[in-house]
Structure 1
Amino acid sequence: MSNSGRKKPPLVAEKRYGKVQPPKAKAASKAKAKSTAKPKPTPKKRKSRKPARKRNPVVAFFLRILKWIWRVIWAFTWRISAIVGIILAISVGYLYTTLPNLSDLLDGRARGSVTLLDRNDQVFAWRGDQFGGVVSAEGVSPDLRNAVVATEDKRFYRHFGVSPRGVAGAVRINLSEGRGPLSGHGGSTITQQTAKLLCLGVEYNSEDWESEAAYVKDCRQGSLWRKAKEAIFAIAMEVKYSKNDILSIYLNRAYMGGGAYGAEAASQRYFGKPAAVVNPSEAAMIAGLLTAPSSLAPTANLQRSQDRAATILRLMNEQGYLNDKETAYWQANPATLSEAAEAKAGGYFADWVMASGPEFFTRNTTEDVILKTTMDPRIQSAVEDGLKWVFENKVREGSKAQAAIVVMSADGAVRAMVGGRDTKVSGAFNRAVQAKRQTGSAFKPFVYGTALDLGYAHNDLVEDAPYCLNVPGSGQWCPRNYSNKHYGKVSLTTALKNSLNIPAVKISEAVGRENVRTVASEFGIESDLAAGPALALGASESSLLEMTGAYAGILNGGSSVTPYGLVELRLAGDANALMGTGGGIGERVITEAAARELIYMMEKVVSEGTGRRAALPGWEVAGKTGTTQAARDAWFIGFTAEYVAGVWMGYDDNTPLTGVTGSGLPAEIWHEAMVRVHEGISPTPLPAFVPKPPKTTPAQRRKRQSPGEAIEGVVNDILKDIFGGN
């Protein structure tokens, strides 16, 4: 084949394949390369995967829906939570700015207090909203502080004002006991309870509320919305005040029964000591009042209060505040009431003084008021003991009969008052003041007092014989004696001491009923007096206090008397009294001579007549019994030179007494009470007149002489007639 004519480069093997190596060297080079090269990893065998199970399309559909719902709920929840959190923070912040200083929250009473002193200037009763003074959580007894925390909120120092655990536990208990979740146990912390005491910052205003009770009811409501507001207010308080500040507010504002607001008032009220020194049993009793202050108050039921305190002591032990030995000791030695507290806040006497005083300084006072009274604790105790003795020893067991006693001085100063058999009460029906009952023969001294004032004498005679009167509108009326007998001509003294009815009516008609009504009214009987002839027999109604005051007028010489218990009224902290005595001796009603003669006649009632069971050894006693128709009321009212006392006995429903007259049990009650009242007092004679020996005619004198003396007397009479002289 011929060449094309293009010059071709020579074909050189070295340039094409590199440097040519001999076969042996080539083989050695390959071997070296093999030895230096890294071995290639052997590829792993892939595991064969099982084919995925195909999900049920229906289930997958619902799962997708549930995931979507969850994402929606979550998105909604965190946004709402954020909004609620912001609102809560704003609310707490706003309330924080409105909360006042601590000192402005420690006394939250709407009313003031009334402290009653006896005649010896000793406290014997409290009324109104008693506040003993500001105390702090650090200043009270540690036992009291621990008892309150153990009872009301054991996690008080660990929560932020609201205890979710406490609320959950309360809901669980309520549901298990068949109540609504918010009914019964509330799970409230001490902070929440304090918020409720503060009424969430809303102060009482008489213009905004129908009454204080309506305001308190609104503050105590337990609706869900109210609970929410209460929780927010509690959190704001936790931010504003310290834990001890909140506990201080609580200890000062909480109602603790018996009219006591705050720990200091309760401690003074029940134990007569400051809250700083109460022992564990006393502290437990005070803490126990916070649950139900009225029903658990020791003055209402001491045993129930002690049982509750024993439970509190157990809680203190469980939470480490008391050891086992201390707990056992104080449970075995429960708290007891002070002497003043045992008097049940002064009983009937304190109730009467409060009711008779000016309303704006007693029942509705906004100030702290001190009342000094006429009450004598020794006499009060003596009267109560005498009444109790008679009912325990002379009255059949199970009897529902009641009795009342009033003791006063001749000027009307009331020294003791009992308005019923249950002497240790407060706010009860006072039969000595509130009961208006027919007086029976206890009214007769006013009939004879009128006659004596008009010129009659104690030894004037009146015919005790059948007697009838025509009463317009009622026909013929014929009074009868209790014995259904007639005694002929009797003196006024005899008629009174034997309580004869016919002579009393005759004397009343002779002196004029209107005059009798006037004398009785001026002596202090303010009740409506009967217009007919039965006036003389006590057909009118009156209270025991009025009747006893009227008899005091007889004792003091015939001047009217207004019974009184208040000596002076002053504001706490002030030395000057705002007002003084509201009673005492008034205008003269009958002459002193008539009063002294009436006292003489009434003394015969006790020494010789129907009132002999009332006699006191060594003392002159004057008085009068009284029994109404069908024995529905029985009275004895009498006096010594020292004191006047009245006793009434009967049933509240006007049931007739069985076998009881004024000369019986009422006279015995009077005797037992007044024996105790007069212990240690030297007897003093009554201010009665001493009657002169009756004048006798010469013939009467000769009847009592021997014949010789009679002849001598006749001669002397003739000589006197002729020559005159003595």
Structure 2
Amino acid sequence: MSDSGRRKPPLVADKRYSTQRKAAQPAKKPAKKPAPRKRTAAPKRPRNPIMAFFAAVFRWIFRLIWAFTWRIGLMVCVMLALAVGYFYTTLPPARELLDGRANGSVTMMDRDAKIFAWRGDTFGGAVTAESVSPHLKNAVIATEDKRFYQHFGVSPRGIASAIRINLREGRGPLSGHGGSTITQQTAKLLCLGVEYDETQWDSEAAYEADCRQGSLWRKAKEAIFSLAMETKYTKDEILSIYLNRAYMGGGAYGAEAAAQRFFGKPAAALNPAEGAMLAGLLTAPTSLAPTNSLERSQNRAGVVIGLMHEQGYLSDRAKAEALNHPAELSEAAEARAGGYFADWVMSSGPEFFTRNSAVDVVIKTTLDQRIQKAAEDALAYIFDEKVKEGSKAQAAIVVMSADGAVRAMVGGRKTKVAGAFNRATQALRQTGSSFKPFVYATALEMGWSSNDVIDDDEITITIPGSGAWTPQNYDRKFHGRVTLTEALRTSLNIPAVKLAQDVGLENVRRVASDFGLQSDLAQGPALALGASESTLIEMTGAYAGILNGGSSVKPYGLVELRMQGDTDPVMTATGGIGERVIREETAQELIWMMYTAATKGTGRRAVLDDRQIAGKTGTTQAARDAWFIGFSADYVAGVWMGYDDNTPLKGVTGSGLPAEIWHETMRRVHEGVPVSALPMMDGGSNPRKTNAPSEGDRTRSGIERLLDDLLGGGGRGNGTRTDPAGR
């Protein structure tokens, strides 16, 4: 049979998801994973209860400390912020802090208007960190605070380094190196904002000492003040304050004053060597000042130059140049002329301008630096050539014009000084025979002539309260009848005593006092022999009165005083020619007698080769003092020599070394000065009596002189007095 007639079943897909599926092969069940082994915990070791206790205590303490620490730290930060904020509010603008001096300065100029000395606290003017020489700025940063522009006012690294150095050197951690930044040093210069109050401190020195104390509390306060400054000011403003207020030696406060004081140029014009020298002064301005020791200052500057090179401020070539050509002092600073003279002007000038002034003043003086150098060189020459090495003997010199204008002053063998004992103005010494011209001036004014004679023979004088006194001549001899000129020429003592007794001791005292000898004059007859004490400047001024024709002079050094920046003077000369003491004719005859004494008598070693001189020697008892005072037609000079402790000089009289010092001084002084004749005339040129006046004539002369002075008629002061003896 065939299948063709059989109906085919429809093609229908199998139902994909049929609830009735053909029985399938049973699936293999996955093999069961072996159950993990249970780890059995290691048996716990029993815990040490003691350790557990201490660990718990430690954790508790740590949590307690941390709880307090962050709170305390927060409180400290708040308090620090408040403190910084307080100081911030008290700080004035930076420009108001540049000049911090309590006192002003005195700048002195010589007769040619050249600056030669500074006194007081000198401030040359405000500068800024931008206006000063970059070499000075770099030198200060390299030396004082190389991370100045990186730190916030306090350098922990610097403090740690300083403490380490101090401990290593055997000091306390805060003693010695302080690790202070420039900001901290500036804070100290500002005394942490505390101004000087004279009611709170005994002196400015005590105030400054308080500002510089280094206690821990002070350091902490200094750090806070520094942070306030860093907040208030820029770095350059802080550096500007520092550069203006820092003391740099020689009385100079600030970079400008120091640059002018030492180099004679502004701070903006300093080269690397000069900038390094000023920066080097900041550590020890007094001992390192170039005016005290140029060599020490240059050595210190060499160290600063090395630091500048290490920190990249100087190239190799610039470093070599600075080291090979170290900074040198200006001509004025190197000369340090007239230290004694400058001190004398300061002490004799008005106190409210020279010593207690809060302003800056400029004083023009009478000093002649050429003459000053002549006096200093002469003194050095004599002591180098003619005085035994190691001698402690001292000497002083004063040179002045006939009107009392002091041209030079040397107050001791060390001439480059300031504030030293001035033997020309402060030492009261017996004058010896240098006083005798005032005895003879009194006699000539009262009727005696230089050609009159007096007996040089023994005399004994009874002095009330002291007994008998018998004066003797230096050579222990008597010379019989001698003229007044001869007695003065050979410096005889007995004739001087007799003459003083004859004309009246009171008259001699008055003439000497009117000529300017202000010290207490001896009351007894020893007055005639120079038993009184006086200063060299007084004696030289009195001799100037003889040279100028018989008028008193007041030695002076101040010509005019003005405020710095002003053109009109506040005051002018405080000395000069005063009233007439003796008549001009009397002065001229006395000059003749003194000319004879200098050229033919005891003062021969003082004679100058090219011009006339007059003068008088003086030697006191036991040669404790030796003098020569004299004059040419142009200048008067006085020389004193002796020991400060009154030790007698050995082999020295006024006719010896003092006369030689005078000669060397005046020889140098007169170089290039035209020759002029002394204003003198001898006794023979005068219409005078050639014999000693009678006792009545001499007494009448003295009485009439006293009456003239008392009644104001034709006496001292107008030069018109008629002499009763016929002159």
Task: Give the structure 2 partner of residue 175 of structure 1.
Answer: 167
Task: Give the structure 1 partner of residue 241 of structure 2.
Answer: 249
Q: Partners of 1:693 and 1:257 in 2: how far apart?
A: 61
The 1:40–1:341 alpha-carbon spacing in structure 2 relative to 1, beyond 3 Å, is: farther
Task: Give the structure 1 partner of residue 27 of structure 2.
Answer: 30
Q: Secondary structure at the match of 2:27?
A: helix
How many angstroms does 1:688 deviate by? 0.3
Task: Give the structure 2 partner of residue 539 of structure 1.
Answer: 531
Answer whether contact 2:450 2:683 (CA < 8 A) is retained. no
Q: Which amino acid is 1:58 matched to? A: I
Q: Partners of 1:582 and 1:68 in 2: how far apart?
A: 86
Q: Partners of 1:92 and 1:350 in 2: how far apart?
A: 46
Q: Secondary structure at the match of 1:470?
A: strand
Task: Give the structure 2 partner of residue 427 of structure 1.
Answer: 419
Q: Which amino acid is 1:162 matched to? A: V
Candidates 115, 124, 128, aligned match of 2:116: 124
Q: Which amino acid is 1:591 matched to? A: R
Q: Partners of 2:334 and 2:278 in 1: how far apart?
A: 16
Task: Give the structure 2 partner of residue 311 of structure 1.
Answer: 303
Task: Give the structure 2 partner of residue 323 of structure 1.
Answer: 315
* 1:164 aligns to 2:156 (yes or no): yes
Task: Give the structure 2 partner of residue 561 of structure 1.
Answer: 553
Q: Which amino acid is 1:76 matched to? A: F
How many angstroms does 1:42 deviate by? 4.5
How many angstroms does 1:541 deviate by? 0.4
Answer whether contact 1:93 1:236 (CA < 8 A) is retained. yes
* 1:133 aligns to 2:125 (yes or no): yes
Answer whether contact 1:342 1:424 (CA < 8 A) is retained. no
Task: Give the structure 2 partner of residue 57 of structure 1.
Answer: 49
Q: Which amino acid is 1:29 matched to? A: P
Q: Which amino acid is 1:619 matched to? A: R
Task: Give the structure 2 partner of residue 715 of structure 1.
Answer: none
Answer whether contact 1:119 1:376 (CA < 8 A) is retained. yes
The 1:40–1:285 alpha-carbon spacing in structure 2 relative to 1, beyond 3 Å, is: farther
354-363 or 179-188, larger mean C-alpha shift: 179-188
What TM-score do you get using the length of structure 1 for normalisation? 0.90
Answer whether contact 2:593 2:682 (CA < 8 A) is retained. no
* 1:71 aligns to 2:57 (yes or no): no
Candidates 401, 409, 412, aligned match of 1:417: 409
What TM-score do you get using the length of structure 2 for normalisation? 0.90
Q: Any residues of structure 2 matched to 1:256-405 within 5 Å, and which?
A: 256-344=248-336, 346-405=338-397
Answer whether contact 2:451 2:683 (CA < 8 A) is retained. no
Q: Any residues of structure 2 matched to 1:87-166 within 5 Å, and which?
A: 87-166=79-158
The 1:42–1:273 alpha-carbon spacing in structure 2 relative to 1, beyond 3 Å, is: farther
Q: Secondary structure at the match of 1:552?
A: helix
Q: Secondary structure at the match of 2:666?
A: helix
Answer whether contact 2:337 2:373 (CA < 8 A) is retained. no
Q: Partners of 1:96 and 1:459 in 2: how far apart?
A: 87
How many angstroms does 1:48 deviate by? 5.7
Q: Partners of 1:55 and 1:483 in 2: how far apart?
A: 119
Task: Give the structure 1 partner of residue 643 of structure 2.
Answer: 651
Task: Give the structure 2 partner of residue 591 of structure 1.
Answer: 583
Q: Partners of 1:42 and 1:629 in 2: how far apart?
A: 136
* 1:528 aligns to 2:524 (yes or no): no
Answer whether contact 1:288 1:305 (CA < 8 A) is retained. yes
How many angstroms does 1:246 deviate by? 0.3
Q: Any residues of structure 2 matched to 1:189-204 within 5 Å, and which?
A: 189-204=181-196
Q: Partners of 1:694 and 1:345 in 2: how far apart?
A: 45
Q: Any residues of structure 2 matched to 1:639-678 within 5 Å, and which?
A: 639-678=631-670
Answer whether contact 1:618 1:683 (CA < 8 A) is retained. yes
Q: Which amino acid is 2:571 matched to? A: M
How many angstroms does 1:679 deviate by? 0.1
The 1:694–1:378 alpha-carbon spacing in structure 2 relative to 1, beyond 3 Å, is: closer
Q: Which amino acid is 1:461 matched to? A: V
Q: Partners of 1:44 and 1:565 in 2: how far apart?
A: 117
Candidates 472, 476, 491, aligned match of 1:480: 472
Q: Secondary structure at the match of 2:113?
A: coil
Q: Which amino acid is 1:321 matched to? A: Y
220-229 or 268-277, larger mean C-alpha shift: 220-229
The 1:40–1:528 alpha-carbon spacing in structure 2 relative to 1, beyond 3 Å, is: farther
Q: Partners of 1:694 and 1:579 in 2: how far apart?
A: 43
Task: Give the structure 1 partner of residue 702 of structure 2.
Answer: none
Q: Partners of 2:305 and 2:42 in 1: how far apart?
A: 71
Question: CA-to-partner distance for each residue in 1:560-580, whole Å, 9 max, x for gaps?
Answer: 010000001111111111111
Q: Partners of 2:635 and 2:35 in 1: how far apart?
A: 128
The 1:624–1:52 alpha-carbon spacing in structure 2 relative to 1, beyond 3 Å, is: farther
Question: CA-to-partner distance for each residue in 1:676-703, whole Å, 9 max, x for gaps?
Answer: 00000121000001443799xxxxxxxx
The 1:41–1:582 alpha-carbon spacing in structure 2 relative to 1, beyond 3 Å, is: farther
Task: Give the structure 2 partner of residue 607 of structure 1.
Answer: 599
Q: Secondary structure at the match of 1:692?
A: helix
- State the Cα RMSD in Å: 1.8
Task: Give the structure 2 partner of residue 698 of structure 1.
Answer: none
The 1:51–1:454 alpha-carbon spacing in structure 2 relative to 1, beyond 3 Å, is: same
The 1:313–1:48 alpha-carbon spacing in structure 2 relative to 1, beyond 3 Å, is: farther
Question: CA-to-partner distance for each residue in 1:412-433, whole Å, 9 max, x for gaps?
Answer: 0000000000011000000000
Q: Partners of 1:280 and 1:47 in 2: how far apart?
A: 83
Q: Secondary structure at the match of 1:385?
A: helix
Q: Partners of 1:51 and 1:235 in 2: how far apart?
A: 62
Q: Partners of 2:337 and 2:257 in 1: how far apart?
A: 13
Task: Give the structure 2 partner of residue 14 of structure 1.
Answer: none
Q: Partners of 1:579 and 1:97 in 2: how far apart?
A: 43
Q: Which amino acid is 1:303 matched to? A: E
Who wins on radius of gyration, i.e. which is larger? 1
Q: Secondary structure at the match of 1:260?
A: coil
- Identity among equivalent positions (%) equals 68
Q: Secondary structure at the match of 2:26?
A: helix
* 1:84 aligns to 2:76 (yes or no): yes
Q: Secondary structure at the match of 2:107?
A: strand
Task: Give the structure 2 partner of residue 15 of structure 1.
Answer: none
The 1:293–1:694 alpha-carbon spacing in structure 2 relative to 1, beyond 3 Å, is: closer
Answer whether contact 2:338 2:410 (CA < 8 A) is retained. no
Q: Which amino acid is 2:519 matched to? A: S
511-520 or 307-316, larger mean C-alpha shift: 307-316
Q: Partners of 2:645 and 2:76 in 1: how far apart?
A: 64
Residue segments in structure 1 that go unaligned for 5+ positions in a row: 1-18, 696-726
How many angstroms does 1:158 deviate by? 0.5
Candidates 428, 431, 438, aligned match of 1:439: 431
How many angstroms does 1:323 deviate by? 2.9
Answer whether contact 1:127 1:259 (CA < 8 A) is retained. yes
449-458 or 314-323, larger mean C-alpha shift: 314-323
Candidates 498, 501, 508, aligned match of 2:493: 501
Answer whether contact 1:126 1:346 (CA < 8 A) is retained. no
Q: Secondary structure at the match of 2:684?
A: coil
Question: CA-to-partner distance for each residue in 1:212-261, whole Å, 9 max, x for gaps?
Answer: 22221221121111111111111011111110110000000111111111
Question: CA-to-partner distance for each residue in 1:379-413, whole Å, 9 max, x for gaps?
Answer: 11111111111111111111111000000000000
- Poorly superposed stretches of 4+, deviation over 6 Å: 19-22
480-489 or 403-412, larger mean C-alpha shift: 480-489
Answer whether contact 2:551 2:578 (CA < 8 A) is retained. yes
Q: Partners of 2:68 and 2:286 in 1: how far apart?
A: 49
Question: CA-to-partner distance for each residue in 1:308-328, whole Å, 9 max, x for gaps?
Answer: 111111211222212334323
Answer whether contact 1:174 1:181 (CA < 8 A) is retained. yes
Q: Partners of 1:199 and 1:428 in 2: how far apart?
A: 31
Answer whether contact 1:345 1:426 (CA < 8 A) is retained. no
Candidates 623, 635, 638, aligned match of 2:627: 635
Q: Which amino acid is 1:416 matched to? A: A
Q: Secondary structure at the match of 1:623?
A: strand
Task: Give the structure 2 partner of residue 549 of structure 1.
Answer: 541
Q: Which amino acid is 1:629 matched to? A: Q
